[in-house]
């Protein structure tokens, strides 16, 4: 776009913003909307006034000045709480963000106005980032709905829904384009500037993002400030070196890449700053973007990007299906077309993007959501549309950020909520650092013994013990030359930190049985007594005991494990070997709080969805012993050669059976070989894995 045209557009956006801002102010003093709806509009206008005030203060800052520079930590904390107080658990029963309350008070517009409320909460982010256009379209949306309620006759719910529908559709293209731009362009540096320029010992910096700041984010930042620079650099090096090793292990050329996407939770800025400097030595600049705020770019309650704490997980869960209000065939076409156009526009940036480097957190109290009948939810037809859209979106992304050329890494650390005392948190944090830096060479040798045993057969059987009714028979690929080929990857600490597993993509035909876990935490949600039945490698039945009604339990699994797919394949079978992590989890009683990244290393695990090699099956992968891992495909992923739309699901969820619930893992065939018996490694050469149990 020409400079003159860009300035004209900025001027127009500013004029629109000023008009909307002034009108919002007037609403707080008006009584045109009849009861019982007046409180919604006046209260929401008050909230918007808060975010507008922040934006106005940000606009007045001189170069070099920071928002809240003269304020105390307590003042900034109170402001942060004020922005999020309405949706916090203690206030949620009477919040318009609660679909149940909105349905009760705002009938018959409950779903529509609760949707509007949730979308407008994005103005917090737009205020802090000075995103005038994003702020303006939200203010205008609110005003359009408000004006509909000031007419002589109240609008129909359909009319309100139409306003919201056309907001989403009219602004889909610029919202999608901006999302893709910030994911690829290192010049979109709002967060990077905070990390690199602020005094990180002054915890006021946490309030510069506009994200919710809980005691966890404050606690992590405080704890990292107690560590030496050498300790911080070492933590960062584990993370950045894992990223570099990921490229080496898969024989991908890192020198072609110029950017890395850093994802983290607030509080880890000291580590991220060190990582940025280390990545720069590899020739990589960071792209750091906020978790999605516009409904157009969200995917249920899952967050991708940097983020603060959650003011209320139930609120996020209740709004996971908000796209039901607008998801139809026309929207799917519009969004996919917008993605294609955006990637084409930023193709040069996409070509040199290396993939994500993620710092995950864990330790919060496990969340088991309550069902909310009044919340928006996808119809069966919309579920099918969502699956088709995700599939095509994955194909578009892979055409520009090629799977065979990118990599990733993930590492996880605890938050203070994991412990009862500050001293215990420090001890647990130190234990996790130890787990993240275990001797990869030692594990590599032991895991090689396990792989050689597994490669001697085409079948493996896994059985639970006690009340665990797991009984699975896994079909492995046939090896033509065992001296040159293997089914299992010897996973050391590179892309997937910490060390400690061997994994494969099973043959689906003949992979049968029941997977059962008494309690597991998946994608931030607690599942109790989870059972999945596999027939020829596909999930054909499922249950859990989270809710009293079986229908709710099935719906819970369909939404959060199957992701609305009728069936999902077993994309991975693995044996975790990190007994050090397992014993630490038992010692500190944190097993139910560990992320899957660590939990998957603490027993056999099974992933439903895509294989571990999705989008890069044709890239040869070798173990340290030089043997090629040939089990990179299954009967579904291989369909990509004829029809990409049938090959991928866009999900991969790992489910681990803890050692204590495990009776045995044995190969099947002429020579039965035991890997694990009664929760302990019995294969010759693996005895050291049992040592942590004896301490």
pLDDT by residue (tens digit) across 637-688? 999 988 888 888 989 999 999 999 999 999 998 889 999 999 999 999 999 9
pLDDT tier at 536, thresholds 50, 70, 90:
very high
What's the whole-number mean pLDDT along residues 505-530?
93
Domain count, the chain: 3
Q: What is the mean pLDDT of the chain?
A: 94
CB 211 within 8 Å of CB 256: no
- What domain range is 79 assigned to? 3-61+68-170
* Residue 2: pLDDT over 60: no
Are 568 and 499 in a shared domain?
yes
* Residue 532: pLDDT over 80: yes
Dist CA 180 CA 340 (whole Å): 10
Question: Residue 613 corresponds to which tokens in the numbers above?
Answer: 């090699």
Q: Kindly report, residue by residue over 494-503, the tens digit of the pLDDT.
A: 778 999 999 9
Are 238 and 166 in a shared domain?
no
Q: What is the largest CA-CA distance in the chain?
A: 83
To which residue do tokens 């709480």 refer?
81
Residue 178 within a domain: no
* Residue 426: pLDDT over 60: yes
Nearest partner of 529 among 515, 544, 539, judged by Cα: 544
User: What is residue 12's predicted lDDT score, i.e. its pLDDT?
Assistant: 86
Residue 196 within a domain: no
Dist CA 177 CA 73 (whole Å): 36
What's the whole-number mean pLDDT along residues 592-596?
85
Dist CA 283 CA 272 (whole Å): 16
What's the whole-number mean pLDDT along residues 151-165?
97
pLDDT tier at 361, thresholds 50, 70, 90:
very high
Are 398 and 495 in a shared domain?
no
CA atoms 628, 629, 633, 634: torsion sign: positive
User: What is residue 669's predicted lDDT score, i.e. its pLDDT?
Assistant: 83
Are 456 and 600 in a shared domain?
yes
Dist CA 35 CA 489 (whole Å): 64
User: What is residue 3's predicted lDDT score, i.e. its pLDDT?
Assistant: 56
What's the whole-number mean pLDDT along residues 75-93?
97
User: What is residue 523's predicted lDDT score, i.e. its pLDDT?
Assistant: 78
Residue 272 within a domain: yes
Residue 182 within a domain: no
Q: What is the enclosing helix (H) or strand (E) of 360?
A: strand 353-362
Dist CA 282 CA 247 (whole Å): 12
User: What is residue 491's predicted lDDT score, i.e. its pLDDT?
Assistant: 87
Residue 426 within a domain: no
What's the whole-number mean pLDDT along residues 606-622?
90
Are 448 and 373 in a shared domain?
no
What's the whole-number mean pLDDT along residues 549-558?
94
* Residue 1: pLDDT over 60: no
Higher pLDDT, 474 or 369: 474
Query: At 455, phi and psi to the nearest 5?
Result: -70, -10
What's the whole-number mean pLDDT along residues 346-354?
98
Are 304 and 371 in a shared domain?
yes
What's the whole-number mean pLDDT along residues 230-242?
96
Are 538 and 623 in a shared domain?
yes
Residue 315 within a domain: yes
Domain boundary among 170, 193, 226: 170
Q: Kindly report, residue by residue over 242-256, the tens digit of the pLDDT.
A: 999 989 888 899 999
Residue 193 within a domain: no
Are 405 and 443 in a shared domain?
no
User: What is residue 583's predicted lDDT score, i.e. its pLDDT?
Assistant: 94
Domain boundary among 409, 425, 458: 409
Domain boundary among 116, 150, 170: 170
Are 337 and 450 in a shared domain?
no
What's the whole-number mean pLDDT along residues 284-303?
94
Q: What's CA 639's distance to the chain center, in Å? A: 27
CA atoms 431, 231, 303, 619: torsion sign: negative
Q: Kindly report, residue by residue over 202-213, the tens digit of the pLDDT.
A: 999 999 999 999
Are 449 and 542 in a shared domain?
yes
**Alpha-helix runs per DSSP H in 289-346:** 313-318, 329-345
Residue 382 within a domain: yes
Are 485 and 607 in a shared domain?
yes
Burial class (CB in 10 A: 0-12, 13-18, 19+), 596: buried
Are 219 and 328 in a shared domain?
yes
């Amino acid at each position: 776009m020409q400079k003159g045209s860009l300035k004209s557009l900025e001027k127009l956006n500013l004029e629109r913003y000023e008009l909307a801002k002034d009108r919002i102010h007037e609403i707080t003093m008006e009584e045109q909307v009849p009861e019982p709806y007046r409180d919604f509009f006046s209260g929401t206008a008050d909230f918007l006034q808060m975010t507008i005030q922040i934006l106005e203060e940000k606009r007045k800052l001189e170069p070099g000045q920071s928002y809240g520079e003269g304020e105390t930590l307590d003042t900034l904390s109170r402001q942060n709480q004020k922005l999020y107080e309405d949706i916090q658990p203690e206030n949620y029963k009477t919040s318009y963000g609660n679909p149940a309350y909105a349905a009760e008070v705002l009938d018959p517009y409950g779903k529509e106005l609760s949707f509007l409320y949730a979308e407008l909460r994005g103005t917090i982010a737009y205020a802090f980032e000075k995103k005038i256009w994003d702020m303006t379209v939200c203010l205008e949306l609110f005003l359009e709905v408000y004006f509909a309620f000031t007419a002589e006759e109240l609008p129909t719910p359909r009319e309100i829904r139409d306003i919201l529908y056309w907001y989403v559709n009219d602004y889909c293209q610029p919202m999608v384009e901006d999302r893709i731009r910030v994911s690829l362009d290192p010049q979109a540096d709002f967060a990077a500037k905070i990390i690199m320029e602020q005094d990180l010992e002054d915890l006021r910096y946490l309030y510069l993002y506009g994200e919710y700041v809980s005691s966890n984010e404050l606690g992590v930042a405080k704890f990292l400030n107690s560590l030496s620079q050498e300790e911080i650099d070492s933590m960062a090096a584990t993370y950045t070196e894992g990223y570099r090793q990921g490229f080496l292990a898969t024989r991908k050329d890192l020198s072609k890449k110029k950017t890395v996407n850093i994802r983290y939770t607030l509080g880890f800025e000291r580590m991220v700053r060190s990582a940025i400097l280390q990545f720069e030595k590899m020739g990589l600049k960071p792209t750091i973007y906020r978790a999605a705020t516009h409904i157009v770019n969200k995917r249920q309650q899952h967050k991708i990007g940097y983020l603060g704490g959650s003011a209320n997980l139930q609120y996020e869960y209740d709004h996971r299906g908000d796209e039901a209000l607008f998801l139809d065939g026309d929207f799917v076409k519009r969004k996919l077309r917008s993605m294609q156009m955006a990637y084409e526009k930023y193709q040069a940036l996409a070509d040199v993007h290396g993939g994500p480097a993620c710092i995950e957190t864990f330790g919060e109290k496990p969340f088991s959501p309550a069902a909310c009948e009044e919340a928006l939810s996808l119809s069966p037809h919309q579920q099918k549309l969502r699956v088709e859209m995700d599939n095509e979106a994955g194909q578009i992304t892979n055409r520009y950020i090629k799977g065979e050329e990118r990599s990733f890494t993930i590492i996880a650390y605890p938050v203070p909520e994991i412990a009862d005392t500050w001293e215990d948190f420090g001890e647990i944090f130190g234990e996790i650092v130890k787990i993240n830096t275990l001797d990869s060479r030692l594990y590599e040798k032991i895991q090689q013994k396990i792989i050689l045993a597994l490669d001697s057969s085409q079948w493996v059987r896994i059985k639970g013990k006690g009340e665990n009714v797991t009984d699975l028979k896994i079909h492995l690929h046939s090896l033509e030359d065992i001296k040159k080929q293997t089914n299992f990857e010897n996973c050391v600490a590179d892309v997937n930190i910490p060390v400690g597993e061997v994994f494969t993509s099973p043959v689906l035909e003949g992979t049968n049985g029941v997977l059962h876990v008494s309690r597991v935490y998946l994608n931030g949600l607690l599942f109790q007594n989870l059972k999945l039945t596999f027939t020829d490698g596909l999930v054909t039945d499922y249950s859990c005991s989270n809710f009293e009604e079986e229908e709710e339990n099935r719906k819970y699994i369909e939404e959060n494990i199957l992701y609305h797919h009728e069936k999902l394949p077993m994309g991975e079978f693995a044996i975790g070997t990190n007994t050090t992590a397992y014993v630490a989890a038992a010692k500190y009683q944190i097993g139910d709080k560990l992320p899957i990244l660590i939990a998957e290393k603490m027993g056999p695990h099974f992933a439903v969805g895509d294989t571990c090699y999705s989008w890069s099956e044709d890239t040869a992968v070798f173990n340290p012993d030089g043997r090629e891992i040939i089990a990179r495909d299954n009967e579904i992923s291989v369909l990509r050669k004829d029809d990409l739309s049938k090959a991928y699901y866009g999900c991969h969820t790992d489910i681990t059976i803890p050692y204590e619930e495990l009776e045995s893992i044995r190969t099947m065939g002429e020579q039965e070989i035991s890997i694990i018996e009664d929760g302990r490694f019995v294969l010759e050469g693996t005895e050291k894995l049992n040592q942590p149990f004896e301490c």
